[in-house]
């Protein structure tokens, strides 16, 4: 098998090591209920937050069996929001049946207010959830979600997920000019959610948003770390994209990897 439709990479990820991507949506167009200003997958209207089946577990299984490349994580991400796949749990079971690696899922957290989705996510070893804004106004400007998605509901979903979890949770924040002044507000939200880790990113791949400098990111890291300490949450690890090294890896299929590297 030389063409891979549902798997991509593996890629060297600064937060997951060697990551073999699984795309549970795998459509040519982006299927996401956000349209973030920095999105690598292009600018298109957010879809309604309704789940559907896009990929059959057997079809994913056939690719996973053909792909011999080892990885640290099988990472659910790709061309859109992976929790929009209604059969996420079945796809994950298929991964577990065929491969020994740990599993991760990268989500925009838009639907974590749903108990069913939170339950699906408990089956992953590592969940990385997006939080790019400290309030609804900035949320609408940066993530540009569909009208049915509400900032408060996202926080209301993240807090109980974190409280009840047995798996690892990271909150990832894309820092850009528009939200960089809000480090203390972010720290207050991280305190409320209480993840294992905070991952501070900035758009280093080509897009219309300017990335923050190494110094700006280091300073954001320091302020957030100190604020978490002050708030009694000094145990939350804070990392940033400039401070971590991604392993060098040769992808099995370079074009497939490149067209999906918006999120991994």
Interface characters, 51-80, with ligand SF4 (x: CB under 6 A): -----------------------------x
For position 35 contacting ligand SF4 by CB under 6 A, the verdict is yes
85, β-bridge pairs: 52
| Size of interface with ligand SF4, in residues (CB under 6 A) | 11
Stretch that binds ligand SF4, among 8-16, 27-35, 64-72, 120-128 (CB under 6 A): 27-35
What letter would DSSP give residue 178? Answer: T
| Cα–Cα distance measured from residue 50 to residue 30, given in angstroms and rounded to the nearest whole number | 14
Q: Does 81 participate in binding ligand SF4 (rule CB under 6 A)?
A: yes
**DSSP-based three-state secondary structure for 8:** strand
Among 18, 25, 36, 88, binds ligand SF4 (CB under 6 A): 36
Question: Interface with ligand SF4 includes 260 (CB under 6 A)?
Answer: no
Read off the DSSP letter of residue 82. G
Pairing, β 7-13 against β 17-22? antiparallel
- C-alpha torsion sign, points 78, 83, 84, 89: positive
Q: Does residue 198 touch ligand SF4 according to CB under 6 A?
A: no
Asked if residue 109 binds ligand SF4 (CB under 6 A), the reply is no
* Closer CB to ligand SF4, 17 or 146, in the complex: 146
Q: What is the CA radius of gyration of the chain?
A: 17
Please report which residue ranges of 122-210 form alpha helices under DSSP H: 136-142, 151-164, 183-193
Q: Which of 7, 25, 32, 236 binds ligand SF4 (CB under 6 A)?
A: 32
Facing residues of 104 across strands?
Answer: 75, 126
Beta-strand runs (E) in the chain: 7-13, 17-22, 73-76, 102-107, 126-130, 168-174, 197-201, 237-240
Q: Does 263 bind ligand SF4 (CB under 6 A)?
A: yes
The nearer residue to ligand SF4, 172 or 183, going by C-beta atoms, is 172
Least distance to ligand SF4, CB of residue 30, Å: 6
User: Bridge partners of 173?
Assistant: 200
Q: Is 39 in the site for ligand SF4 (CB under 6 A)?
A: yes
CB of 142: closest distance to ligand SF4 in angstroms?
Answer: 9
- What is the DSSP-derived secondary structure letter of residue 80? B
Q: Which is nearer to ligand SF4, 208 or 215 (CB)?
A: 208
Among 7, 16, 22, 41, binds ligand SF4 (CB under 6 A): 41
Which residues contribute to the site for ligand SF4 (CB under 6 A)?
32, 34-36, 39, 41, 80-81, 108, 262-263
């Amino acid at each position: 098998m030389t063409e891979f439709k549902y798997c991509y990479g593996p890629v060297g990820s600064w937060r997951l090591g060697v990551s073999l991507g699984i795309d549970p949506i795998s459509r040519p167009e982006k299927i996401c209920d956000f349209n973030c200003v920095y999105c690598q997958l292009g600018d298109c209207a957010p879809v309604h937050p309704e789940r559907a089946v896009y990929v059959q577990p057997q079809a994913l299984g056939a690719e996973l069996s053909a792909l011999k490349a080892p990885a640290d994580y099988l990472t659910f991400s790709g061309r859109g929001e992976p929790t929009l796949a209604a059969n996420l749990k079945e796809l994950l079971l298929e991964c577990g049946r065929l491969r020994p690696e740990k599993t991760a899922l990268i989500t925009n957290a838009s639907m974590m207010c749903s108990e069913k989705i939170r339950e699906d996510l408990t089956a992953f070893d590592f969940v990385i959830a997006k939080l790019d804004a400290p309030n609804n106004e900035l949320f609408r400007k940066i993530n540009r979600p569909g009208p049915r998605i509400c900032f408060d509901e996202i926080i209301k979903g993240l807090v109980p997920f974190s409280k009840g979890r047995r798996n690892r949770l990271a909150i990832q924040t894309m820092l850009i000019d528009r939200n960089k002044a809000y480090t203390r507000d972010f720290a207050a939200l991280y305190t409320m959610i209480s993840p294992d880790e905070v991952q501070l990113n900035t758009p280093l791949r080509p897009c219309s948003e300017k990335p923050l400098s190494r110094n700006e990111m280091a300073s954001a890291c320091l302020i957030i770390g100190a604020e978490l300490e002050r708030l009694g949450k000094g145990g939350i690890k804070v990392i940033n994209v400039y401070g971590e090294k991604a392993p060098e890896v040769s992808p099995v299929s370079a074009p497939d990897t490149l067209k999906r590297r918006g999120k991994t």
